[in-house]
Amino acid sequence: MIRGRLEPGGQVRGIRVAGGRIVGIGPPVEPPAASLTGEATCIVSQAFFDLQVNGFAGVDFNRPGLSGEELLRASRALWAHGVAQFLPTVITASLNAMAQTLATIRRAREDAPVLARAVPGIHLEGPFLCPQDGARGAHPRAHVRDPDWETFCRLQEAAGGHIRLVTLAPERPGALDLIERLRAAGVVVAIGHTDATEADIDAAVQAGAQLSSHLGNGAHAVLPRHRNYIQKQLATDGLLASIIVDGHHLAEYFVKNVVRCKGPERVILITDAMAAAGAPPGMYRLGEVLAEAQPDGVVRLPGTPYLAGSALTMDRAVANVRRFAGVTLAQALAMAAEHPRRLWPESPGGLTPGAPADIVLLRDGERLEVVETIVAGETVYRAAQR
Active site annotation includes 146: no
- Assess contact for 260 and 325: CB atoms under 8 A: yes
Max Cα distance, the chain (Å): 65
Catalytic residue among 50, 272, 315, 358: 272
Contacts of 42 (CB under 8 A, 6+ apart): 3, 4, 5, 361, 362, 363, 371, 372
Nearest residue to 340 (alpha-carbon basis) of 251, 243, 273, 257: 243
Question: In whole angstroms, how far apart are CA 78 and each of 181, 210, 363?
Answer: 33, 26, 17
Rounded to whole angstroms, the Cα distance separating 242 from 83 reads 16
DSSP assignments along 293-346, one per residue: E-TTS-EE-TTSS-B-SB---HHHHHHHHHHHH---HHHHHHHHTHHHHTTSTT
Answer yes or no: are the C-beta atoms of 27 and 14 closer than 8 Å.
yes
Positions marked active-site: 272
